[in-house]
C-alpha cells in the first residue's frame, strides 16, 4: 500500500493499515460508519458541513484509538471536495476506502406533512387518488437535492479514483436508499430520484473500475433509527406508528450500527461484490 510512514494506524483489525474517508458524519449512519471503520482498524478522515457534528464524530473516532482527520466540506462544491482530498492525501498519503454518505434527507415540516399523508394512504382503506407531491414541488427543492445527493457523490468518487486507480486498490461504498429501488419514499420524489441516480451511477462506475481492483457497491438502507426519525415516530402516536410497521415485516427500524457493519464488510477484502445494491431493510422490500 502507498502509505506515509507513521500516518496510519498500525493496530489489528480487518481494516488495519487502511485509510477511510466518510462524508456526512452527523449523528446516525455517518457517525456509526466512521466509528465502525475505526473499530475495524482503519485510520479515518471525516467530513461534514456542521462544525459541532464534525468535532463530536472526530472525538468518537479517536476514542477507538485511531488517527482521525476532521474536515469541513460541502460536497456539492467541486472545489471544496478537491481541497478535502488534497488534505487527506497530505495527512495519510493515500486513500483506500470512500463511504459516500453525505446527503440531504426529507426532514422539514413540509416533508413530514407529505410523509404522514403518504403513510396514511398506504396503510388505510381510503379511496385511491393522486397525492399531489410532484406537481407542487419547486425547482429550488429539486435542484438542491441533486447538488448534494448526486453531484457530491460524483465529485468525491472522481477525486478518490485519482488516488485509488494508480495504486490499483480501492473500495467505494455509495449510500443510496430503499427510496432508490422502491416507492417506499413516494412522499419525497426528489429524494427518491437522487438515490436512484446514485445507484445507476454506481453500477456504471463499478463496471468501469473493477479491473483496477477498485470495487464499487451500494448500500441502500431502509428506515434508519436516526435521532430525527425517532423524533418523528414520537410525534405520530401509537396507532400511526403501528400502521407504519405493517409496511416493515421486522416491525422496527434498522440501527445505524447494523447498517455500519455492512459498510465495513463492503470496505474489506472479504467479498467478491462489484456493482451490487445491498439493501438491509427489515423486509420492507424483498
- For the residues 196-224, what does the mean pLDDT come to? 98
Per DSSP, which regions of 62-197 are E strands? 68-72, 97-100, 170-175
Domain-located, residue 11 = no
In a domain, 285, yes or no: no
Q: Is the pLDDT of residue 2 over 60?
A: no
Give the pLDDT score at 228.
86
7 inside domain: no
The DSSP result for 176-230, as a single string, is --GGGTSSTTTT-HHHHHHHHHHHHHHHHHHHHHGGGTEEEEEE--S-B--HHHH
Cα gap 226→255, rounded to integer Å = 8
Residue 4 has pLDDT above 60, yes or no: no
Q: Give the active site residue among 119, 155, 191, 259.
A: 191
Q: Check: CB of residue 229 under 8 Å from CB of residue 255.
A: no
In angstroms, the Cα distances linking 120 to 86, 246, 286 are: 48, 11, 22
The residue among 277 and 1 whose pLDDT is bigger is 277
Give me the pLDDT at residue 9, please. Answer: 52
In a domain, 88, yes or no: yes
Q: For residue 47, what are the domain limits?
A: 19-278
CATH number at residue 73: 3.40.50.720
Task: Inform me whether the pLDDT recorded for 6 exceeds 60.
Answer: no
- What's the pLDDT at 7? 46
pLDDT digits (tens, 9 = 90+) for 61-118: 999 999 999 999 999 999 999 999 999 999 999 999 999 999 999 989 999 999 999 9
**96 is a domain residue:** yes
Q: What is the pLDDT of residues 29-71, one digit of tens each?
A: 999 999 999 999 999 999 999 999 999 999 999 999 999 999 9
Whether residue 202 is predicted with pLDDT greater than 50 in this model: the reply is yes
Tens of pLDDT, residues 245-280: 999 999 999 999 999 999 999 999 999 999 999 999
∠ Cα 23 144 139 (to 5°): 165
Whole-number pLDDT of residue 1: 39
Q: Is 191 a catalytic residue?
A: yes
* Confidence (pLDDT) at 227: 87
Mean pLDDT of the chain: 94
Question: Is position 1 within any domain?
Answer: no
Beta-bridged to residue 207, according to DSSP, are: none
Rounded mean pLDDT of 4-23?
Answer: 75
Query: Out of 29-38, 102-111, 170-179, 232-241, which region has the weakest mean confidence (pLDDT)?
Result: 232-241
How many domains is the chain partitioned into structurally? 1
Asked whether residue 2 is assigned to any structural domain, the reply reads no
Would you say residue 5 has pLDDT above 50?
Answer: no
CB 63 within 8 A of CB 144: no
Calpha distance 132→274 (Å, rounded): 38
Q: Looking at the domain assignment, is residue 4 inside a domain?
A: no
Instruction: Spell 224-250 as b/e; 16+ CB within 10 A means b.
Output: bbbeeeeebeeebeeeeeebbeebbee
The C-alpha atoms of residue 82 and residue 74 are separated, in whole angstroms, by 11
Name residue, grid cell 379511496.
127
Amino acid at each position: 500500500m502507498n502509505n506515509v510512514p507513521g500516518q496510519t494506524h498500525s493496530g489489528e483489525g480487518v481494516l488495519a493499515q487502511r485509510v477511510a474517508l466518510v462524508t456526512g458524519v452527523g449523528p446516525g449512519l455517518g457517525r456509526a460508519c466512521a466509528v465502525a471503520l475505526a473499530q475495524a482498524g482503519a485510520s479515518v478522515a471525516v467530513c461534514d458541513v456542521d462544525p459541532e457534528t464534525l468535532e463530536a464524530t472526530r472525538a468518537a473516532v479517536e476514542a477507538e484509538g485511531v488517527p482521525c482527520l476532521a474536515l469541513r466540506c460541502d460536497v456539492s462544491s467541486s472545489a471544496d471536495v478537491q481541497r478535502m482530498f488534497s488534505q487527506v492525501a497530505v495527512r495519510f498519503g493515500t486513500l483506500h476506502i470512500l463511504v459516500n454518505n453525505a446527503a440531504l434527507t426529507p426532514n422539514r415540516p413540509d416533508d413530514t406533512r407529505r410523509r404522514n399523508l403518504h403513510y396514511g394512504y398506504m396503510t388505510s382503506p381510503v379511496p385511491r387518488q393522486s397525492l399531489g407531491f410532484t406537481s407542487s414541488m419547486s425547482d429550488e427543492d429539486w435542484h438542491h437535492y441533486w447538488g448534494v445527493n448526486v453531484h457530491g457523490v460524483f465529485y468525491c468518487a472522481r477525486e478518490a479514483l485519482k488516488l485509488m486507480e494508480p495504486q490499483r486498490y480501492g473500495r467505494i461504498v455509495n449510500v443510496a436508499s430503499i427510496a432508490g429501488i422502491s416507492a417506499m419514499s413516494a412522499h419525497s420524489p426528489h429524494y427518491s430520484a437522487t438515490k436512484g441516480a446514485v445507484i445507476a451511477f454506481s453500477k456504471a462506475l463499478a463496471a468501469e473500475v473493477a479491473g483496477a481492483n477498485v470495487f464499487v457497491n451500494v448500500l441502500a438502507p431502509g428506515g434508519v433509527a436516526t435521532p430525527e426519525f425517532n423524533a418523528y415516530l414520537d410525534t405520530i402516536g401509537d396507532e400511526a406508528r403501528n400502521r407504519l410497521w405493517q409496511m416493515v415485516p421486522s416491525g422496527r427500524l434498522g440501527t445505524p450500527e447494523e447498517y455500519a457493519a455492512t459498510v465495513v464488510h463492503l470496505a474489506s477484502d472479504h467479498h467478491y461484490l462489484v456493482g451490487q445494491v445491498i439493501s438491509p431493510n427489515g423486509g420492507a422490500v424483498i
